[in-house]
A and B are shown apart, each in its own frame.
Chain A
Amino acid sequence: IPPPAKKPLTKIVSHLLVVEPEKIYAMPDPTMPDGDIKALTTLCDLADRELVVIIGWAKHIPGFSTLSLADQMSLLQSAWMEILVLSIVFRSLPCEDEIVYAEDYVIDEEQARISGLLDLHVAILPLVRRYKKLRMEKEEFVTLKAIALANSDSMHIENIEAVQRLQDSLHEALQDFEGSQHPEDPRRAGKLLMTLPLLRQTATKAVQHFYSIKMQGKVPMHKLFLEMLEAK
């Protein structure tokens, strides 16, 4: 007997799956000597390119582009690191205690120690464990990523009602998805939303980590990454 066909996904979740950006690669510079400067240079360069992609992706979230430009900027300035961290965490789910910064940049604890990335590694792993336990699916990941953006608690929002409408539509999409795909667990949407505080904590630690690296001035950083770091 074939398994029962899965119910169709909600429009928003299907749309978010379609607009999910392509993988990007870290491409560490082979001419640089191995060590913490190389590792951090690779990550900062990767983050800068990911940011360009995240800004383009945000414009495809239904309702985001109708916000004022100022509100779009405020949401992205607050949430960009949460979006970056959530993407890294989702990529790392199939691994055991390794962080997949990119397909070609998978770091285990020992490599993290050598490369000066141990603090970041230790900060991200609890989030990976949390989503592993929940067995987070791709549909849930893309929806939660959009929710993290809409729910970024920026202090500078002009049109609070419009941002609230965006939050409501994404929240509803998550609830509808869980209602149709996971009727056996009526609290699944809530469980996913309850991971957002740990995501914010982790992103805050990551921002602090990169901000202190910026202050030390030893690692080259591209302009967009610097601009977003300074906005925090």
Chain B
Amino acid sequence: KEKHKILHQLLQNSTSPVDL
């Protein structure tokens, strides 16, 4: 998981794609 930090963070983050 440590190797895939950003993917992990973005999946946990509740921001919707519409807001991005």
Seen from chain A, the residues whose Cβ lies within 8 Å of a Cβ on chain B are 19, 21-22, 52-53, 55-57, 59-60, 69-70, 72-73, 76-77, 223-224, 227-228, 230-231
Contact = CB atoms under 8 A, between A and B. Distances in A.
Interface in B1-20: 1, 3-8, 10-12, 15-20
Contact of B8 (A22, A57, A73, A223): A73
B7 A21 contact: no
Given A53-B20, A59-B16, A224-B10, 12 more contacts: A21-B20, A55-B7, A56-B10, A69-B8, A70-B1, A76-B7, A224-B6, A224-B7, A227-B5, A227-B6, A231-B4, A231-B7
A56 B17 CA distance: 4
Instruction: Tell me what chain B mostly uses at the interface: helix, strand, loop, or mixed.
Output: helix
B20 A69 contact: no
Interface of B: 1, 3-8, 10-12, 15-20
A69 B18 contact: no
12 contacts: A21-B17, A55-B10, A56-B10, A56-B19, A60-B17, A69-B8, A73-B8, A73-B11, A76-B11, A224-B10, A227-B4, A230-B3
A72 B12 CA distance: 10
Given A52-B20, A53-B17, A53-B20, A72 B6 contact: no
Contacts of A69: 8, 11-12
